[in-house]
Amino acid sequence: MKGVIVVVSVLVLALMGGCGIVLANPPLVPPIQYEQFCEAQKVAGTGIVDVSTSIVDKKIALEYYNTMAGDGDLELDSEHLYSQNPEKIAREIDAVNNGKKSGLNLIETTKMTYAGNTPLVGGKLLNSKAFYGGIGAEVQEMFSVYEMEKDQTAFFASTTPYNPKDPKKCDASICKDCCCLDANNKEIPNCKCEFDKTQEKC
């Protein structure tokens, strides 16, 4: 009987100690993530072609559609790079920032030749959608051709910089630009915003 009590006591202490160690470990903080997409293709041949790419991101107000279809001789070398973090796609483009490296959210390069008895029909739309907070600019192209040579670069850079909030550094500094509003959404004069540490917000 003494042996059973000793074994049970040891098990209870081991479980309490094990649980205590587990409870003492801080929870894992998920990494700050951003969306990315990369795609490159080199195609050469004769026959039916149907290519389509679309990228829509409401956070940076980007809408991009590129499609084409035809039947003929085709050589295609294209690349699509997209990231919500523009620092990940830094390129030197003569038309931007005096040719110095600039952060871009989307860059697309295409080199293509086509010849066929059936026309190659396609189009492209690059839109900074105002509804999602963009500037409302839009570039659109459409074509229907029996022969075509194309060397094109298209790019998109959002005016909203990628600036994620670090949950470890959330402090009273985020309250500097806030104001107090009443039930009618009118600003309350002489009101001071204060940082709530428990909820980590103003």
pLDDT digits (tens, 9 = 90+) for 157-173: 876 555 555 444 444 55
- Of the listed ranges 48-57, 82-91, 140-149, 168-177, the one predicted with least confidence: 168-177
- Of the listed ranges 3-12, 116-125, 193-202, the one predicted with least confidence: 3-12
Check residue 86 and give its pLDDT.
83
107, pLDDT greater than 90: yes
Nearest to 70 by CA among 94, 48, 90: 48
Check residue 71 and give its pLDDT.
97
Nearest to 111 by CA among 81, 148, 140: 148
* Residue type present at position 37: F
Q: How many Å separate Cα 153 from the centre of its chain?
A: 20
Name the one residue in this structure whose structure tokens are 């739309």: 125
The answer to whether residues 53 and 66 touch, using CB atoms and an 8 Å cutoff, is yes
Q: What does pTM read for this prediction?
A: 0.62
User: Mapping DSSP to helix (H, G, I), strand (E, B) and coil, where does residue 88 land?
Assistant: helix
- Of the listed ranges 16-25, 99-108, 183-192, the one predicted with least confidence: 16-25
Share of the chain above pLDDT 70, in %: 64
Cα–Cα distance for residue pair 122/154, rounded to 1 Å = 16
Name the CA radius of gyration of the chain, rounded.
28
19, pLDDT greater than 70: no
Domain range annotation of the chain? 36-156
User: Tens of pLDDT along 57-69?
Assistant: 888 889 999 999 9
Confidence of residue 25 (pLDDT cuts 50, 70, 90): very low
Per-residue tokens: 173: 């500094």
DSSP character at residue 197: T
Alpha helices (H) along the chain: 2-24
Check residue 161 and give its pLDDT.
54
